């Protein structure tokens, strides 16, 4: 992200060759984002609620309610 900010800070309007330097970083960031989304989907699809804890109210953060 720092690379993106530095390279685009003083660019004139329109296409600039330095933007080519951003491609690799942006593709890598996008790939990482895709992995994170897949991981989140996997985690969310495997969440199970412990009904006993849920019914007992033990899951409630009492200090946050005070």
At 31-50, the pLDDT tens digits run 999 999 999 999 999 998 88
CB 11 within 8 A of CB 32: no
Residue tagged 């690379």 (tokens) = 3
Domain around 16: 2-65
44 contacts 55 by C-beta, under 8 angstroms:
no
Q: How remote is the C-alpha of 44 from its chain's centroid?
A: 15
Domain count, the chain: 1
Do residues 21 and 3 touch, judged by C-beta distance below 8 A? yes
Residue 18 confidence (pLDDT): 65
> 7-11, 42-46, 55-59: which has the highest mean pLDDT?
42-46
């Amino acid at each position: 992200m720092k690379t993106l900010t530095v390279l685009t800070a003083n660019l004139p309007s329109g296409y600039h060759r330095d933007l080519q330097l951003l491609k690799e970083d942006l593709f890598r960031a996008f790939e990482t984002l895709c992995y994170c989304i897949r991981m989140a989907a996997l985690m969310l699809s495997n969440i199970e609620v412990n009904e006993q804890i849920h019914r007992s109210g033990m899951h409630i953060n009492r200090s946050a309610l005070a």
